[in-house]
A and B are shown apart, each in its own frame.
Chain A
Amino acid sequence: MSEVVEASRATALAAPAHGSIRSGRLGALVQRESVFSWLMLTPPVLFLLAFLGYPFFYGVYLSFFRREVAGSASFVGLGNFVILGNDPIFWQAVRNTVLFTAVATVLKASGGLGMALVMNQSFRMKALTRASLLLPFIVPTVLSTVAWQWILDPGMGLFNRLLVVSGLAKTGPSWLGTPTMAMISIIMVNTWRGLPFFGISILAGLQTIPVELHESATIDGASTWGRFRYVTLPALLPVIFIVTTFSIILTFFDFQLVYVLTGGGPANSTHLMATYAYSLSMGAGQMGLGSAVALSMVPVLGLLLVLLTLYVRKD
Chain B
Amino acid sequence: MAQPVPSTATRRDFLKLAGGAAGVAGAPWIARNVQAKPAIITFARESSYVKNFDEHFQKVMVPAYQKATGIKIDYQIQAAGGGAVPQLVSMVENKSGADLAWVQQEWLYRDALVDVSDIAEAAGKEQGGWYDEIKALSVDNGKWKSVPQANIGQCMVYRKDWFDEAGIKHFPETWDEFLEAGIKLKAKGHPYGMSMGHGFADNYSWLYPLLWSYGVTVMDKAGKKVALDTNETAKAVDFVRKLYKEACIEDCIGWLDPHNNKAFLTSQISCTNNAYSIMVSAKRDLPEMGKVIDHALNPKGPNGQRYHALVPVTHGVFAYGPDPQAAKDFLRWTMDPKQFRPWIASGDMYFAPYLHAFDKVPEWDIEPRVKPYQKVLETGKLTSWPAPANRAHGAVINRWVVIDMFSKACTGAPTKTVIAEAVAQLKQIYG
Interface residues of A (CB under 8 A from B): 68-71, 83, 86-89, 153-156, 174-179, 182, 262-269, 278-280, 282-286
| Bound CA–CA A154/B262 (angstroms) | 11
Docked-complex contact A178 and B399, CB < 8 angstroms: no
Which of A154, A176, A268, A279 lies in contact with B268, CB distance below 8 A? A154
Which of B93, B253, B399 lies in contact with A266, CB distance below 8 A? B253
With A264-B198, A284-B395 known, 7 other A-B pairs at CB within 8 A are: A88-B424, A89-B399, A265-B256, A268-B400, A284-B394, A285-B89, A285-B394
B7 to chain A, nearest CB (A): 31
Comparing B104-112, B205-213, B292-300, the segment that makes contact with chain A is: B104-112
- Taking the complex as formed, is B36 at the interface, i.e. its CB lies under 8 A from any CB of chain A? no
- Taking the complex as formed, is B237 at the interface, i.e. its CB lies under 8 A from any CB of chain A? no
Q: Which residue of B lies closest to A88 (CB)?
A: B421
Docked-complex contact B395 and A285, CB < 8 angstroms: yes
User: Ordered nearest first, which 4 A-B pairs have the shortest CB separation?
Assistant: A177-B251, A263-B198, A283-B398, A284-B395
Which of A88, A89, A175, A283 lies in contact with B85, CB distance below 8 A? A283
Residues of chain A with a CB closer than 8 A to B268's CB: 154-156
Q: Which residue of B lies closest to A153 (CB)?
A: B262
Interface residues of B (CB under 8 A from A): 82, 85-86, 89, 92-93, 105, 108-109, 111-112, 196-199, 249-256, 262-263, 266-268, 391, 394-395, 398-400, 404, 407-408, 410-411, 413, 421, 424-425, 428-429
| Bound CA–CA A269/B412 (angstroms) | 13
| Bound CA–CA A135/B387 (angstroms) | 51
Residues of chain A with a CB closer than 8 A to B89's CB: 69, 282, 285
| Bound CA–CA A282/B398 (angstroms) | 9
Docked-complex contact A283 and B399, CB < 8 angstroms: yes
Docked-complex contact A267 and B391, CB < 8 angstroms: no
Residues of chain B with a CB closer than 8 A to A156's CB: 262, 266, 268
A96 to chain B, nearest CB (A): 13
Residues of chain B with a CB closer than 8 A to A282's CB: 85-86, 89
| Bound CA–CA A179/B410 (angstroms) | 11
Known: A68-B391, A176-B251. A265 touches B108 (CB 8 A): no
Docked-complex contact B254 and A176, CB < 8 angstroms: yes
Docked-complex contact A178 and B263, CB < 8 angstroms: no
Residues of chain A with a CB closer than 8 A to B253's CB: 177-178, 265-267
A185 to chain B, nearest CB (A): 9
Point out which of A88, A175, A266 has the most chain B C-beta atoms below 10 A from its C-beta: A266
Residues of chain B with a CB closer than 8 A to A177's CB: 249-255
Residues of chain B with a CB closer than 8 A to A71's CB: 111, 391
A-B CB contact pairs (8 Å), 19 listed: A70-B108, A71-B111, A153-B266, A154-B250, A156-B262, A176-B251, A177-B254, A177-B255, A263-B82, A263-B197, A263-B198, A265-B253, A265-B407, A266-B411, A267-B411, A268-B400, A278-B86, A285-B108, A285-B395
| Bound CA–CA A156/B109 (angstroms) | 41
Residues of chain A with a CB closer than 8 A to B410's CB: 266-267
| Bound CA–CA A264/B197 (angstroms) | 9
Which of A70, A86, A266 lies in contact with B254, CB distance below 8 A? A266
Known: A69-B93, A89-B425, A155-B263. A265 touches B109 (CB 8 A): no
Which of B108, B196, B255 lies in contact with A69, CB distance below 8 A? B108
Point out which of B82, B111, B254 has the most chain A C-beta atoms below 10 A from its C-beta: B254
Q: Which residue of B lies closest to A171 (CB)?
A: B250
Known: A279-B399, A285-B89. A263 touches B391 (CB 8 A): no
Which of B105, B112, B254 lies in contact with A262, CB distance below 8 A? B254
Residues of chain B with a CB closer than 8 A to A269's CB: 411
Known: A262-B254, A282-B85. A154 touches B249 (CB 8 A): yes
| Bound CA–CA A295/B33 (angstroms) | 45
Docked-complex contact B411 and A178, CB < 8 angstroms: yes
A273 to chain B, nearest CB (A): 15
Docked-complex contact B111 and A70, CB < 8 angstroms: yes
| Bound CA–CA A174/B248 (angstroms) | 12
Residues of chain B with a CB closer than 8 A to A182's CB: 254
Which of B82, B92, B411 lies in contact with A179, CB distance below 8 A? B411
Docked-complex contact B428 and A83, CB < 8 angstroms: yes
A260 to chain B, nearest CB (A): 9
Docked-complex contact B411 and A263, CB < 8 angstroms: no
Known: A89-B425, A262-B254. A69 touches B109 (CB 8 A): yes
A88 to chain B, nearest CB (A): 6
| Bound CA–CA A267/B404 (angstroms) | 5
Residues of chain B with a CB closer than 8 A to A176's CB: 251, 254
Docked-complex contact B250 and A178, CB < 8 angstroms: yes
| Bound CA–CA A267/B85 (angstroms) | 22
Residues of chain B with a CB closer than 8 A to A279's CB: 198, 398-399
| Bound CA–CA A154/B267 (angstroms) | 12
| Bound CA–CA A87/B426 (angstroms) | 11
A274 to chain B, nearest CB (A): 14
Which of A263, A268, A285 lies in contact with B199, CB distance below 8 A? A263
| Bound CA–CA A279/B253 (angstroms) | 18
Residues of chain B with a CB closer than 8 A to A280's CB: 399
A284 to chain B, nearest CB (A): 4
Docked-complex contact A284 and B254, CB < 8 angstroms: no
Q: Which residue of A lies closest to B418 (CB)?
A: A267
Residues of chain B with a CB closer than 8 A to A174's CB: 249-251, 254
Point out which of B400, B411, B428 has the most chain A C-beta atoms below 10 A from its C-beta: B400
Point out which of A86, A174, A178, A265 has the most chain B C-beta atoms below 10 A from its C-beta: A265
Residues of chain A with a CB closer than 8 A to B250's CB: 154, 174, 177-178
| Bound CA–CA A15/B182 (angstroms) | 96
Point out which of B105, B251, B268, B394 has the most chain A C-beta atoms below 10 A from its C-beta: B251
Point out which of A175, A176, A177, A280 has the most chain B C-beta atoms below 10 A from its C-beta: A177
Which of B112, B198, B251, B424 lies in contact with A70, CB distance below 8 A? B112
Known: A266-B407, A279-B398, A283-B399. A70 touches B109 (CB 8 A): yes
A150 to chain B, nearest CB (A): 9
Q: Which residue of B lies closest to A150 (CB)?
A: B262
B403 to chain A, nearest CB (A): 8
| Bound CA–CA A285/B108 (angstroms) | 6
Docked-complex contact B196 and A266, CB < 8 angstroms: yes
Residues of chain A with a CB closer than 8 A to B262's CB: 153, 156
Q: Which residue of A lies closest to B255 (CB)?
A: A177
| Bound CA–CA A263/B257 (angstroms) | 10
Docked-complex contact B395 and A265, CB < 8 angstroms: no
| Bound CA–CA A153/B391 (angstroms) | 35
Docked-complex contact B256 and A268, CB < 8 angstroms: no
| Bound CA–CA A174/B252 (angstroms) | 9
Point out which of B93, B255, B266, B399 has the most chain A C-beta atoms below 10 A from its C-beta: B399
